[in-house]
């Protein structure tokens, strides 16, 4: 663990410098500990792949004091303390088809697989959430099967439709709203990633695991999916 200054009122805690499951588990454990302190002086706690950014109230702690607090609280982070059998498995129904999955055929071609094999590989894994950001509810999920690894588009699209399920390198994600982006799109979901009507706002949190479930066009439309 390494604590660095991030700004006048924030620090960043690093748990490693490579994207690994172990580092991600440390981030999640630290995030949980900091949340559970329920300390109003800890204003923002932003977990990502290998780090946690923390914004704090400088009227309560100066840099030296916050560093001491963090060193004390995060001293014995045990990654085993995170239950790997996460109860929070979120299933996202996906309509995989070239009609909405603009890059489905290209990804299959590049990976020397059939379209059906791409769908089967993408929907067979249980993904970990590595980070949430970029847009409200945009969850970075990993890792996709090595065989599906496809680099980002050279020219990003100006508009990726809301609900698009996409991959980039070993990551996969769902676009919570229309936005520009350069990931390879495989399909579309009617699942709401950011829902202002929910108390939790997002059904996916850093502790979730995510599974994709292939559905038909009819099912997608009946769930409120839009073409």
Partner 1 sequence: MSSGFEVIKAGAFTLIEDKGRFSFMNIGVTNSGFLDEFAALKAHKILNNSYDCNLLEITFAGIKLKATANTIVSITGAKCEFKINSIEKSTWQSYNIKKDDILEITKILKGQRVYLAVKDGFTITKELGSYSTTLKEQLGAFEGRVLKNGDYLPFSEQKNFLKKRLKKEYIPEYKDELVLRVVLSYQQNSFSFKEKEKFFNSIYTITPDLNRMACKLSGESIKSELNGIISEGIAFGAIQIPKDGQPIILLKERQTIGGYPKIGSVLSIDCFKLAQMRPGQKIRFEEISISLAQEKLKKFYSNFIQ
Give residues in contact with partner 1 (CB under 8 A).
Answer: 4-10, 12, 17-19, 31, 43-53, 55, 58-59, 62-63, 131-138, 140, 177, 194, 196, 201-202, 205-206
Instruction: State the nearest-atom distance from the C-beta of 36 to partner 1, in Å.
Output: 14
Q: Phi/psi zone of residue 223: left (φ > 0), alpha (ψ -120 to 50 degrees), beta?
A: alpha
Question: Quick one: CA dihedral 17, 19, 82, 32, positive or negative?
Answer: positive
Contact yes or no for 207/86 (Cβ under 8 A): yes
CB atoms within 10 A of CB 23: 19
3-state helix, strand, coil in the chain (%, to 5): 25, 30, 45
Instruction: State the nearest-atom distance from the C-beta of 184 to partner 1, in Å.
Output: 19
**DSSP-derived pairing of the beta strands 89-96 and 209-214:** parallel
Instruction: State the nearest-atom distance from the C-beta of 7 to partner 1, in Å.
Output: 3
Contact yes or no for 217/97 (Cβ under 8 A): yes
Alpha carbon distance 3, 12 (integer Å) = 6
Instruction: State the nearest-atom distance from the C-beta of 31 to partner 1, in Å.
Output: 8
Element (H, E) at 150: none
Instruction: State the nearest-atom distance from the C-beta of 56 to partner 1, in Å.
Output: 10
Instruction: State the nearest-atom distance from the C-beta of 12 to partner 1, in Å.
Output: 6
Alpha carbon distance 124, 183 (integer Å) = 20
Query: At residue 173, what are phi and psi to the nearest 5 degrees?
Result: -165, 165
């Amino acid at each position: 663990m390494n604590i660095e200054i991030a700004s006048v009122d924030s620090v960043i805690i690093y748990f490693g410098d490579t994207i690994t499951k172990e580092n991600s588990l440390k981030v999640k454990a630290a995030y949980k500990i900091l949340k559970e302190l329920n300390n109003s002086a800890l204003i923002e706690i932003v977990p990502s792949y290998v780090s946690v950014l923390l914004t704090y109230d400088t009227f309560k702690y100066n840099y030296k004091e916050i560093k001491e607090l963090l060193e004390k609280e995060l001293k014995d982070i045990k990654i085993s303390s995170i239950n790997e059998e996460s109860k929070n498995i979120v299933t996202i129904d996906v309509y995989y088809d070239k009609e909405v999955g603009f890059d489905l055929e290209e990804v299959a071609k590049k990976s020397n697989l059939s379209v059906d094999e791409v769908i089967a590989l993408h929907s067979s894994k249980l993904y970990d959430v590595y980070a949430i950001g970029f847009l409200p509810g945009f969850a970075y999920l990993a890792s996709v099967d090595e065989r599906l690894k496809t680099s980002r588009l050279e020219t990003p699209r100006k508009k990726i439709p809301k609900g698009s399920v996409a991959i980039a390198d070993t990551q996969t994600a769902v676009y919570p709203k229309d936005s520009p982006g350069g990931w390879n799109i495989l399909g579309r979901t009617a699942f709401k990633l950011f829902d202002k009507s929910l108390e939790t706002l997002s059904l996916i949190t850093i502790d979730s695991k995510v599974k994709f479930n292939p559905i038909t066009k009819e099912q997608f439309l009946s769930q409120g999916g839009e073409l």
